[in-house]
Structure 1
Amino acid sequence: MTATDYRFKDLLQQRDFMRFWGTRLFGTAGQQMLLVAIGWQMYDLTGSAWDLGLVGLYQFAPALLLALVAGHVADRFHRGHIVAACLLVQGVVSLLLVLATEGHWAGRGLLLGISVVLGMVRAFQLPAQQALVPMLVPPLMLPRAMAFATGGMQTAIIGGPALGGVIFVAGASAVYGTCTALFVIGCVFIARLRYARVAAPREPVSMRTLLAGVGFIWHRKPVLGAVSLDLFAVLLGGAVALLPIFARDILHTGPWGLGILRSAPAVGALLMSVVLTRWPLDRYVGKRLLIAVGIFGLATVVFGLSHSLWLSAVALAVTGGADMVSVVVRQSLVQLETPDEMRGRVSAVNSVFIGASNQLGEFESGATAALLGPIGATVLGGVGTMVVALLWVRLFPGLATRDRMVAPK
């Protein structure tokens, strides 16, 4: 039996996976709305772009520092309970913000402190959440499940901020109250999750056990190639940080145009997730991964050279679709190649790669744009991404020639 032998209806009949999908949908929507509301309220209170940057930094730093510990926790304890606890904490944070906003004691210090808490929570939630999927579906159904789960997340990423913006008309406390309800619903879904948990050996905590995920990825060259390819592709080709410059100075549009540009990659990713759910990747997965990264780079070049809003939006949508292929292949390989007792630690390392590529990619884009201008920086990044895809063919031949997600025994 192959991945294509499973139908979409078969996936929908996986009840525990669908409960997990509901958790991810409502949880991600709540997170997106919460981040938008915190950022808006911070700027409304201080009027400082620096403080807006601090909100992001205060979330990223604890997530990076706690990643290895969080991966170890995900391998030692019930992953569903970890995700439920993280959602519950976010629900309490949202409720606290309702009270603070209504009581007029929501200030800069509170919002920055809450940003630290959210960063800590995400450090524990992401590895446990990623490591759950292989426990809920058969291995050959995993690529389809990854595509469907990521599609639900992209829907939340698109709809969450938009819904939050509409609700914000009624005030920040209304948004925070809605977030509280979404996190509670997510908790209800995850509380009903049942899966066969394999107890990990009770090894004492040490640097060896904490770094086991790093060592595992280093010695699995196809996995290392897939993870590092995504890191360098996003690091070089990420143009998201420069979108305000393109919208105002190059495409000569306003905030509505910036909104279109920001949502375009998520729209492309959502459409590709529908395709991959219907027709999952079954053969030539390594070659398709490298081609997708090359397309990502080419579309980035087109975006950099475009002076049309709609051509730019289409180019960004193509980058989102290509990135979705990369995400599904990378996450499927990581989960299928990793034994269950190590999935939390390996997923934690993977989440560090993702977070580093996004954050450092924004810094790289800004620094390069200061030297070459936004067009030059974007075009150079896109060309660099295509060069990386070609180099990875030589550096990781095992990845380039990988045929199926599940390696033959």
Structure 2
Amino acid sequence: MSKLDPYAALRIKEFNIFLFVRFLLVFGWSMQFIVIEWQVYSITKDPLSLGIIGLMEIIPAFSMALFAGHIVDQKEKRNLLALCTAAFSLISLGLFLLTSESVVGHWSTNAVLYSIYGLVFFGGFLRSFFGPTIFSLVALLVPKKIYPNAATWSTSTWKTASVSGALSAGFLISWIGVDNTLCLVFILVLLSLACTFLIKKKPILNKKIGEPVRESLKAGVQFVFQNKAILGVLTLDMIAVLFGGTVAILSVFAQDVLEVGPEGFGLLNASISMGSIVTMFLTTYIPINKNTGKKMLISVFIFGLSIIAFGLSSIFWVSLLALFISGAADGISMVIRQTILQLKTPDDMRGRVSSVNSMFVGSSNELGAFESGLAAKLIGPVAAVVFGGTMTLITVVGTGIANPILLDLDLTKEIEDYEKEE
């Protein structure tokens, strides 16, 4: 198999099944997120309520992350993914019922709102297991020599599902209503659950089964903090996501700033992911192994600039372009981050390292959503977005100065070593 083969990972049947399962899950989750954001803001007309959604998810996701990583490293991955998916279906079913006429017509607004927050909280708990499980399973489906290619396709699939889910949600809200859209999400999750069982059970590579939780968690955290490349890339992405959480208040821009309705709301969300998809597919042909650290810093810097441009724009197509560029830059940084993690993480620690990653980056999405919602309420949505983009630029410059190991990071030798493996 040629080392330049952009379809290397796609030649493995189980990896294709995995990609299909992940597409269905992310497509459904993306639709669900957009619909709930729209519904909550429509109910409250308060941008802070959007921030509370992020807060409700980050509390369990962050607090459970390390423990979830320990569990993932100790358990069989295919069945764990199936269990997480089954639990996700219950959340989707609950949200569908909460937006149905039988509930909306008989429950108070606060009762519906607080119930939505409760299910989002349960989703945050569940998400702490999803990330490490998926990250660990990828490494069991493909040989090490094509980890970078598999990471690119996995991330591209995630973003493709995000863009199509976001775009579909905006139109489906208008066409079939909030409740029917969430019913569709429930059906998609059930389909993904059925397809999960087409993947065979995988061996548990952790040689320390039964290791005390405290020692296990300590080892995972120590590994991340001792590896300057991993620590640097996680810290950079964490701050960028924290202050660049524009997505959380897009419904405010769609309804009150740009006044483009649910269809425009869907396009705004989709434009971000479209940019990511384009660049991530390009990285399957254009290697990111040379000057990896510099490329990471440049991509996040461009992300910050585009966020500022979006905040200052009052023209719909300009806003779409700015978000597209932000997604393109974010796509590059995500591929680089996932490649670094896959190449530099030992097999028996993937769950715990992925959990630390979720604490740094994943939880920052929700904390960033809360920050964006709070800032939008205090200083207005435009100022909030410009402030976030500015903080991202400052972070990139600071990281480049403070972490020369990340600045000089190059993965050429490591990737070549993996490609030589039989």
Q: Normalising TM by the smaller chain, what interval?
A: 0.7 to 0.9
How far has the Cα of 1:52 moved from its partner?
5.8
Identify which range, 99-108 or 224-233, moves more after superposition: 99-108
In 1, the alpha carbon distance for the partners of 2:376 and 2:36 equals 28
Q: Give the corresponding residue for 1:178.
A: 184
Instruction: Give the letter aligned to residue 156 of structure 2.
Output: G
Q: Give the corresponding residue for 2:245.
A: 238
Do the aligned partners of 2:236 and 2:395 also contact (CA within 8 Å) in 1?
A: yes
In 2, the alpha carbon distance for the partners of 1:260 and 1:32 equals 13
In 1, the alpha carbon distance for the partners of 2:40 and 2:384 equals 30
Q: Give the corresponding residue for 1:216.
A: 223
Count of equivalent residues? 406
Do the aligned partners of 2:232 and 2:399 also contact (CA within 8 Å) in 1?
A: yes
For 1:58-137, list aligned pairs within 5 A.
58-95=56-93, 104-105=102-103, 108=112, 110-137=115-142
Instruction: Indicate how the Cα distance of structure 1 residues 58 and 298 shifts in structure 2: closer, same or farther if over 3 A, else same.
Output: closer
**CA offsets per residue over residues 39-97 of structure 1, 9 Å max, x none?**
566677x6575766554433332222211111111100011211111111222444466
Instruction: Indicate how the Cα distance of structure 1 residues 70 and 201 shifts in structure 2: closer, same or farther if over 3 A, else same.
Output: same
Q: Secondary structure of 2:284's match? A: helix
In 2, the alpha carbon distance for the partners of 1:179 and 1:247 equals 23
Instruction: Give the letter aligned to residue 285 of structure 1.
Output: T
Is 1:188 equivalent to 2:204 in the alignment? no
Instruction: Indicate how the Cα distance of structure 1 residues 254 and 23 shifts in structure 2: closer, same or farther if over 3 A, else same.
Output: closer
Counting aligned pairs with the same residue, the percent is 34
Instruction: Indicate how the Cα distance of structure 1 residues 72 and 406 shifts in structure 2: closer, same or farther if over 3 A, else same.
Output: farther
Is 1:344 equivalent to 2:351 in the alignment? yes
Q: Secondary structure of 1:9's match? A: coil
TM-score (norm 1): 0.86
In 2, the alpha carbon distance for the partners of 1:79 and 1:12 equals 20
Identify which range, 125-134 or 399-408, moves more after superposition: 399-408
In 2, the alpha carbon distance for the partners of 1:100 and 1:249 equals 26
Do the aligned partners of 2:61 and 2:363 also contact (CA within 8 Å) in 1?
A: no
How far has the Cα of 1:352 moved from its partner?
1.4
Instruction: Indicate how the Cα distance of structure 1 residues 316 and 131 shifts in structure 2: closer, same or farther if over 3 A, else same.
Output: same
Q: Secondary structure of 2:361's match? A: helix
Which stretches in structure 2 are left out of the alignment for 5+ residues? Answer: 418-422
Instruction: Indicate how the Cα distance of structure 1 residues 329 and 377 shifts in structure 2: closer, same or farther if over 3 A, else same.
Output: same
TM-score (norm 2): 0.84
Instruction: Indicate how the Cα distance of structure 1 residues 105 and 301 shifts in structure 2: closer, same or farther if over 3 A, else same.
Output: closer
**CA offsets per residue over residues 160-195 of structure 1, 9 Å max, x none?**
244445555556554444333322322233222244
In 2, the alpha carbon distance for the partners of 1:165 and 1:367 equals 24
**CA offsets per residue over residues 347-395 of structure 1, 9 Å max, x none?**
0111111233223333444555567655554444334323322322232
Q: Give the corresponding residue for 1:15.
A: 13
How far has the Cα of 1:292 moved from its partner?
0.9
Instruction: Indicate how the Cα distance of structure 1 residues 58 and 251 shifts in structure 2: closer, same or farther if over 3 A, else same.
Output: closer
Identify which range, 87-96 or 320-329, moves more after superposition: 87-96
Do the aligned partners of 1:214 and 1:349 also contact (CA within 8 Å) in 2?
A: yes
Instruction: Indicate how the Cα distance of structure 1 residues 60 and 277 shifts in structure 2: closer, same or farther if over 3 A, else same.
Output: same
Instruction: Indicate how the Cα distance of structure 1 residues 257 and 348 shifts in structure 2: closer, same or farther if over 3 A, else same.
Output: same
How far has the Cα of 1:119 moved from its partner?
2.2
Q: Over aligned residue pairs, what C-alpha RMSD do you find?
A: 3.2
Task: Give 2:310's match in structure 1, choosing from 273, 293, 303.
Answer: 303
For 1:9-408, list aligned pairs within 5 A.
9-38=7-36, 49=46, 54-95=52-93, 104-105=102-103, 108=112, 110-164=115-169, 169-170=175-176, 174-194=180-200, 195-244=202-251, 246-247=253-254, 251=258, 253-366=260-373, 374-404=381-411, 407=414
In 2, the alpha carbon distance for the partners of 1:381 and 1:218 equals 26
Do the aligned partners of 2:170 and 2:265 also contact (CA within 8 Å) in 1?
A: no
How far has the Cα of 1:218 moved from its partner?
0.5
Do the aligned partners of 2:172 and 2:181 also contact (CA within 8 Å) in 1?
A: yes
How far has the Cα of 1:343 moved from its partner?
0.7
Q: Secondary structure of 1:223's match? A: helix
Do the aligned partners of 1:336 and 1:406 also contact (CA within 8 Å) in 2?
A: no
In 2, the alpha carbon distance for the partners of 1:130 and 1:258 equals 31
Do the aligned partners of 1:248 and 1:254 also contact (CA within 8 Å) in 2?
A: yes
Which stretches in structure 1 are left out of the alignment for 5+ residues? Answer: none
In 2, the alpha carbon distance for the partners of 1:58 and 1:372 equals 22
In 1, the alpha carbon distance for the partners of 2:358 and 2:8 equals 29
Q: Secondary structure of 1:211's match? A: helix
Q: Secondary structure of 2:102's match? A: coil
Instruction: Give the letter aligned to residue 191 of structure 2.
Output: I
In 1, the alpha carbon distance for the partners of 2:193 and 2:314 equals 45
Instruction: Indicate how the Cα distance of structure 1 residues 184 and 325 shifts in structure 2: closer, same or farther if over 3 A, else same.
Output: same
In 1, the alpha carbon distance for the partners of 2:252 and 2:120 equals 27
In 2, the alpha carbon distance for the partners of 1:199 and 1:376 equals 48
Identify which range, 50-59 or 344-353, moves more after superposition: 50-59
Instruction: Indicate how the Cα distance of structure 1 residues 84 and 389 shifts in structure 2: closer, same or farther if over 3 A, else same.
Output: same
**CA offsets per residue over residues 226-277 of structure 1, 9 Å max, x none?**
0001111222333334545555666565554443333221111111122112
Instruction: Give the letter aligned to residue 237 of structure 1.
Output: G
In 1, the alpha carbon distance for the partners of 2:249 and 2:35 equals 22
